[in-house]
Structure 1
Amino acid sequence: MRSLIPLFRSLFTDEDGPTAVEYAVLLAAILLAVIGTVGTLGSTSGGIWAENNQKLEDAGF
């Protein structure tokens, strides 16, 4: 029983675990934002390239 007391004390005073979780949540949020942005820009730029391609074909290039 005495060996459990220092273990619980270290769990409440050690801040490495919560810090790692905070960084993981922050990284997940950043990744979601990047994936959403790339997906949106990818579909938008694909439409622009298709439109430009069609205009070039219509012009005879």
Structure 2
Amino acid sequence: MVRLLEVWLWLREKGQGLVEYALILVLIAVVVIVILSLLGTQVSQVFSRITSALGGS
């Protein structure tokens, strides 16, 4: 009975760790999306200037 309780607690902690990692990944994804949304037009303008300086269309 004690062994069953130990296994149950171990599995519960393992699941909790996976949830924490998932939350960290979601937070990183949200931060990246916000940064790209804010800087997307500026990056596009830089590439447009580079293309026109190189003689592209």
In terms of fraction of residues, the more helix-rich structure is 2
TM-score with structure 2 setting the length: 0.64
Deviates more, 1:24-33 or 1:45-54: 45-54
Instruction: Structure 2: give runs of 5+ residues left out of the alignment.
Output: 50-57
Instruction: Structure 1: give runs of 5+ residues left out of the alignment.
Output: 1-10
TM-score with structure 1 setting the length: 0.61
Partner of 2:41: 54
* Aligned residue-pair number: 48
1:25 matches 2:12: yes
CA deviations on 1:6-59 (whole Å, 9 max, x unpaired) are xxxxx4xxx220110111110111111111111011111122233333212123
Higher RCO (CA < 8 A, seq sep 6+): 2
